[in-house]
Amino acid sequence: MSRADLGDRCLYLCTPDRPDLQQFIDACIAGGVELVQLREKNLEARALLERARLAVQVCRHHGVPFILNDRPDLALEVEADGVHVGQDDAPPWLARRILGPDAVVGLSTHAPNELDAALEEPVVDYLSAGPVSPTPTKPGRPGTGLRYLTYVVERAKTPWFVTGGVTPESVPMMAAAGARRFVAVRWFAEAEDPTAAAKTLRAAIDKALAKLTR
């Protein structure tokens, strides 16, 4: 997978901690999820490796790219399509060295200075921007607000995804601020029916983006 393969993929699932991981991912993909990231910060390497193998099986079955959070070494072992790293994780250049030229490397950004530095990283294929709203997955980190998205739009040529508080209600405002790709965690984590949740969110994204092209 390469940066070009990101294409117009606009709905990115970052998995919550679920015991029914394979069924959950399968249901989300059925509803319109186009990228999947396994993010489980509290697992030891062996347990994370087992979870990653489960996740990658489902993604391969559907032809959906699978990204592992934080661990390029484990991403290589499970033959993930790429890795997503944060500001305090393995540096992008190391992820690229481990995974090789064909893998996707994503990088989180939370502030203008981090974005500016990320745009100087030639090995980074996509960025995330946020969280726009405070989120339990980033405890203690304040929301960036929509103003940060405006900053990203003005500078980033690299594909980027908005994070933090992505819901059907917030999508129109985020899209109006320049977002075209969306990462959701809590929206899916709280869903009783992941397929229906994905369909609802995907419909909101499609509607918001369609308005911008009229």
Residues assigned a catalytic role: 39, 108, 138
* Nearest-angstrom CA–CA distance, 195 and 167: 15
Q: How does DSSP classify residue 153? A: H
Query: What is the residue whose two structure tokens read 């940060």?
Result: 148
Q: What are phi and psi of 58, to 5 degrees?
A: -65, -45
Runs of H (alpha helix) within 21-130: 21-30, 45-62, 72-77, 92-99, 112-118
- Cα separations (Å) of 171 from 74, 79, 190? 33, 32, 17
Q: What are phi and psi of 106, to 5 degrees?
A: -110, 155
Q: What are phi and psi of 138, to 5 degrees?
A: -125, 65
| Pair of tokens at residue 35 | 């990228």
